[in-house]
């Protein structure tokens, strides 16, 4: 009897942990270490080249606003992640959700708020 109760409690605990994983990803609760170095380099390239086409190659502004820590001051990471994934309707800012997942968007948002790293091998 007690073994069955413990198994049911364990099953309930496991189910609740599994159910909470998507919420953690969605709310940016996963640490940046969940992205390997190859993915980091791909994300840096994407931001510097694709986002840089509108926001400037140095992310200091162009057709789109600057994405520097100073320009983004006061913006919350979750807000930036949401814009990255969903875009901004009625503007040229596209939704990147078809290409990026919430962990990618959170990583990008964190780095934008800190100062985005340069392309590997790029001149300073």
pLDDT per residue rounded down to tens, the chain (124 residues): 544 433 343 333 333 333 333 443 344 444 545 789 999 999 999 999 999 999 999 999 999 999 999 999 999 999 999 999 999 999 999 999 999 999 999 999 999 999 998 876 554 4
Kindly provide the residue ranges of all beta strands, DSSP E only, lying in the chain, ordered along the sequence.
none
In terms of C-beta density within 10 A (0-12 exposed, 13-18 middle, 19 or more buried), how is residue 119 classed? middle
User: Are the C-beta atoms of residues 2 and 80 closer than 8 Å to each other?
Assistant: no
The kind and range of the H/E element at 15 are: helix 2-26
User: Are the C-beta atoms of residues 70 and 102 closer than 8 Å to each other?
Assistant: no
């Amino acid at each position: 009897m007690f073994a069955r109760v413990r198994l049911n409690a364990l099953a309930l605990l496991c189910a609740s942990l599994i159910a909470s994983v998507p919420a953690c990803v969605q709310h940016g609760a996963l640490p940046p270490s969940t992205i390997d170095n190859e993915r980091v380099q791909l994300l840096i390239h994407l931001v510097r080249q694709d986002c840089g086409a509108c926001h400037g190659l140095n992310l200091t502004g162009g057709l789109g606003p600057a994405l520097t820590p100073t320009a983004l001051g006061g913006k919350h990471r979750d807000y930036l992640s949401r814009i990255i994934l969903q875009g901004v309707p009625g503007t040229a800012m596209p939704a990147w959700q078809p290409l990026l997942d919430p962990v990618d968007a959170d990583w990008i948002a964190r780095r934008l708020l800190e100062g985005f790293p340069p392309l590997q091998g790029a001149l300073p």
